[in-house]
Chain A
Amino acid sequence: MTDYRCAFSLLGDRKFLSHLDLLTMWQRAMRRAQIPVGYSQGFNPHTLFSFGPAHSVGVEDEAVYFDITLTKAMRPADLQEKVNAVLPEQIMLHTVKELPARYEALMACINLATYEVQLKEMPDECQAQTRIKKLLQLDHYVMERITPKGVKSFDLRPAIHQLHYAGQGLFIMDILLGNSTQPRPQEVMAACGYAEKDLWNIKRSGLYVVNEKGERRLP
């Protein structure tokens, strides 16, 4: 048994697939590519996939991570090539690496997500900068979210690790993933005064492991 860490991207309309749909998609793709995926023991054997932070419907994604156990070792490049040959359009496996015998699980180590949000129309640069500055100056920013169970309040500010305007209508933000409610990029944008209808595209461009010193590395 050998474990591999994989990451793939979902572009264009593929972003509308749900995390659950992707699980089935991957199980079938691995079969088509004839990858010797391991199965759990027991009465109801299931494939040994272990996903990292979930993909959100409607968000373009360049960083969906999963670990997988194979019954026979393969060269990561071979795995990647074989799988990419049988994936639906606009889905690409871009990272495959072999894991050591002991490693930290994806959900345990990943603690930061980077999002790129594109506005439909160019905002006034000055105004964008001021709005970001104002939000970042605050210690707390309480927001309400409507959930099936009712309205829920949460503090959005502590999870914003970084937020800046990159010009051309593009905002880039680093969101800390932790125990508290994780703000959605569109909620951060709303806190800056940009409504959901003003957004053209949201992309999760990366997932990282950040230590106390603020040094980041890929999972």
Chain B
Amino acid sequence: MQEHFADILSKEIFPYVSKPAQYIGGEYNTCKKDWQDCTVKGVFIFPDTYEIGMSHLGSRILYDVINRIPRFLMERAYAPLDDMEQLLRKKGLPLFSIESKRPLGDFDFLAFTLQYELSYSNILNIIDLAGIPVWSAERDDSPLILAGGPCAYNPEPLAEFVDAFLIGDGEECFPEVVEMIEKGKQTGWDKRTLLRHMADIPGVYVPRFYEITYFPEQGKIKSITATDGVPSVVYKRVVQDMEHCVFPEKDVLPNMQIVHDRMMLEIMRGCNRGCRFCQAGVVYRPVREKSVEVLRKQAALLEENCGYDEIGLVSLSSADYSCIEKLVTGLMDDFQNQNVSVSLPSLRADAFSIDLAKKVHQVRKGGITLAPEAGSQRLRDIINKNVTEEDVLSAAKAAFSEGWTQIKLYFMIGLPGETYEDLDAMVDLAHKILEIGRKYKVPGLKKPIQITVSASSFVPKAQTPFQWLGQEDKESIGQKQEYLREAFRKNSKIKFNTHNLNTSFLEASFARGDRRLGKVLYRAWQLGCKFDGWTEFFRYDLWESAFTLCGISPTYYANMNYNDTDILPYDHISCGVSKKWLWQELQKAKQGITTLDCRQGPCNGCGICPTLQVDQVYVKRKEND
């Protein structure tokens, strides 16, 4: 029967779809286990295409975390492209895992990673393509739907579709959840009993046990009540010892070109810089660095097992890693004459970072990206982006002098407290950088200087100091975009890009949204929404209809300001950083007062270390002991 299904796929589906390599599995280092021998079988699903999903480090880690346990099996699936979906639906075939090509419905659990809000419609679509009811309440014997990842810090819009959310580092929580599923199968628990037991695992949030009530008039949340004795607040899980935790030594090598096709060497987790708009900077605390020795060993192992010719150092801010120079030099020594290159994404906007990039000969790789985020010092202080104009300009000077000709600048518009003067400052900064380019460009280089200014619209995210603030209204952001477009139009050397207003607006309404958005999501998906993050698929008109049909206003969620006494939709989920501290940060922002990274100064009292009983880990500090 199973062979028959795989055969149908090979003969009647794969030959007729675009880029079939993304569905065939069988990649080098793929995990293959005997179906019969495994007590629990699941599928890890990245709800976007293979090219994007295979580039995701977290998926690589968790695939290994579960499959390392001999009796558990976890396969993979991704969102099928439109032609594949149409063909499957036409032939009445379910979506399948790419390893054993089994229908998703044959597994015990489906685990989704939540990387961005605009992938939610894909999640419903994938569950439906599996032939499973999308609502949690309508599923009984079918696979359990699990989810985790950064968007799980506000899981509420998905609360009625997902059975259990895993909060925090998956290395800790995920195996325990799978063990519980195993126990449930052995004991013969029904779904509710299993979920109730699961809710006792630290870091697991089972939404059905939390009752939410709302104020009738303005609709804000009146209460969140934990029932059945489940914890009133679910705290995230943390890997304290990054060096000794599970590390995937054998990456599954993609069948086709993917977005980030290189070794991803995670050098540390967490970032303490405290940019007030940044969710990752809050939810991945505390900073935990791995030692240079361990990293060099891991890079060597991965190179040997996978054959990568590029090492990408991965973290939220690689230049902040205590021994970054020592690490880079070490790696370059290790791979001398082996044609392996080292690359450093996510660098800071300063000369030190440019120096590092130069060290790894990144020059030939084209452009460099600097992210001042805001045009003026005043606004950068508000958002606590502790980068000065001098930093940015000296970075640009260093970059041009080293032979770069293309610089990309990332900004946000619609940041709290932004005025048109800040926009003017953004325009000035870009022009100053262009001037520096003209002055310091290496003589004789044929490539012309090109500055790209990319201005995204600020989206307030859950669990950040700006979570209480609504997004600036769409019309007003639109006017600012126009203003900037006009200001940059005169100069052909500066390219100006913005984000789609409706995309950012929808993202904002979900980022701080609550459980009631579930029905809007359902409606939108039914109307045909999917791949909302893709310009060619995004159908804002359908989303508008969905909101209207449900009698829910998206502006309520996107633009509303909360008060300090308000219950936030995700107050029962904690990443360990205290709400009180976040509120203080917001007050400091309003006064334009910055907060230093606690490694450079005293403890800021964010609460992460005492609340979760964890410590920051810095390599330098350890080595000085």
Interface residues of A (CB under 8 A from B): 12-14, 16-18, 20-21, 24-25, 27-32, 39, 43-45, 57-58, 86-90, 200-201
- Which of A12, A17, A32 is within 8 Å of B21, CB to CB? A17
Q: In the assembled complex, which residues on chain B have CB atoms less than 8 Å from the CB atom of A21?
A: 21, 255-257
A27/B309 contact (C-beta < 8 A), A12-B10, A20-B257, A200-B11 known: yes
C-alpha gap A20/B24 in the complex (Å): 16
Q: In the assembled complex, which residues on chain B have CB atoms less than 8 Å from the CB atom of A31?
A: 303, 307-309
Tell me the nearest residue of chain B to A33, going by C-beta: B307
30 contacts between A and B (CB under 8 A): A12-B10, A13-B14, A13-B26, A16-B14, A17-B24, A18-B19, A18-B21, A21-B21, A24-B257, A25-B253, A27-B309, A28-B307, A28-B308, A28-B309, A29-B28, A29-B307, A31-B303, A31-B307, A31-B309, A32-B304, A32-B305, A32-B306, A32-B307, A58-B20, A86-B28, A87-B28, A88-B26, A88-B30, A89-B26, A200-B11
B306 touches A16 (CB 8 A): no
B508 smallest CB distance to A (angstroms) = 38
We find that the number of chain B residues with CB closer than 8 angstroms to chain A is 27
Q: Assess whether B571 is interfacial by the CB under 8 Å rule.
A: no
Q: In the assembled complex, which residues on chain A have CB atoms less than 8 Å from the CB atom of B308?
A: 28, 31
Chief secondary structure at chain B's binding surface:
loop
B339 touches A90 (CB 8 A): no
Within 8 A of A (CB), among B233-287: 253, 255-257, 261
B20 touches A57 (CB 8 A): yes
A129 smallest CB distance to B (angstroms) = 26
Q: Assess whether B27 is interfacial by the CB under 8 Å rule.
A: yes
A27 touches B307 (CB 8 A): yes
Bitwise, B547-569 to A at CB < 8 A (1) or not (0) is: 00000000000000000000000
B339 touches A39 (CB 8 A): yes
- Which of A27, A32, A58, A88 is within 8 Å of B15, CB to CB? A58
B382 smallest CB distance to A (angstroms) = 43
A219 smallest CB distance to B (angstroms) = 26
C-alpha gap A21/B28 in the complex (Å): 13
B307 touches A14 (CB 8 A): no
Q: Which of A17, A20, A31 has the most B CB atoms < 10 Å from its CB?
A: A31
Within 8 A of A (CB), among B304-322: 304-309
B255 touches A17 (CB 8 A): yes
A14/B26 contact (C-beta < 8 A), A31-B309, A58-B15 known: yes
C-alpha gap A14/B256 in the complex (Å): 11
A18/B26 contact (C-beta < 8 A), A58-B15, A58-B20 known: no
Bitwise, B1-42 to A at CB < 8 A (1) or not (0) is: 000000000110011000111001111101000000000000
- Which of A13, A44, A200 is within 8 Å of B24, CB to CB? A13
Within 8 A of A (CB), among B380-409: none
C-alpha gap A29/B253 in the complex (Å): 10
- Which of A18, A30, A200 is within 8 Å of B307, CB to CB? A30
Q: In the assembled complex, which residues on chain B have CB atoms less than 8 Å from the CB atom of A13?
A: 10, 14, 24-26
Q: Assess whether B326 is interfacial by the CB under 8 Å rule.
A: no
B27 touches A16 (CB 8 A): no
Q: In the assembled complex, which residues on chain B have CB atoms less than 8 Å from the CB atom of A39?
A: 339
Tell me the nearest residue of chain A to B29, going by C-beta: A88
B334 smallest CB distance to A (angstroms) = 14
C-alpha gap A18/B257 in the complex (Å): 10
Q: In the assembled complex, which residues on chain A have CB atoms less than 8 Å from the CB atom of B14?
A: 13, 16, 58
Closest 7 CB pairs of A and B: A28-B307, A31-B307, A16-B20, A32-B307, A13-B24, A88-B28, A21-B256
Q: In the assembled complex, which residues on chain B have CB atoms less than 8 Å from the CB atom of A90?
A: 26
C-alpha gap A14/B30 in the complex (Å): 14
C-alpha gap A14/B308 in the complex (Å): 21
A109 smallest CB distance to B (angstroms) = 29
Q: In the assembled complex, which residues on chain A have CB atoms less than 8 Å from the CB atom of B253?
A: 25, 28, 88
Q: In the assembled complex, which residues on chain B have CB atoms less than 8 Å from the CB atom of A17?
A: 21, 24, 255-256
Q: Assess whether B447 is interfacial by the CB under 8 Å rule.
A: no
B12 smallest CB distance to A (angstroms) = 9
Q: Assess whether B490 is interfacial by the CB under 8 Å rule.
A: no
C-alpha gap A39/B309 in the complex (Å): 13
B100 smallest CB distance to A (angstroms) = 12
A44 touches B255 (CB 8 A): no
Q: In the assembled complex, which residues on chain A have CB atoms less than 8 Å from the CB atom of B306?
A: 28, 32
Tell me the nearest residue of chain A to B261, going by C-beta: A24
A18 touches B309 (CB 8 A): no
C-alpha gap A28/B306 in the complex (Å): 7
Q: In the assembled complex, which residues on chain A have CB atoms less than 8 Å from the CB atom of B446?
A: none
C-alpha gap A37/B356 in the complex (Å): 29
Q: In the assembled complex, which residues on chain B have CB atoms less than 8 Å from the CB atom of A27?
A: 307, 309
Q: In the assembled complex, which residues on chain B have CB atoms less than 8 Å from the CB atom of A86?
A: 28, 307
Q: Assess whether B364 is interfacial by the CB under 8 Å rule.
A: yes
Q: In the assembled complex, which residues on chain B have CB atoms less than 8 Å from the CB atom of A58?
A: 14-15, 20
Q: Which of A25, A30, A43, A58 has the most B CB atoms < 10 Å from its CB?
A: A25
A43 touches B255 (CB 8 A): no
Tell me the nearest residue of chain B to A26, going by C-beta: B307
Query: Apart from A21-B255, A31-B307, A88-B27, what 20 extra A-B contacts exist at CB < 8 Å?
Result: A13-B24, A16-B14, A16-B20, A16-B21, A16-B24, A17-B255, A25-B253, A27-B307, A28-B28, A28-B307, A28-B309, A29-B28, A29-B307, A31-B308, A32-B305, A58-B14, A88-B253, A89-B26, A200-B11, A201-B11
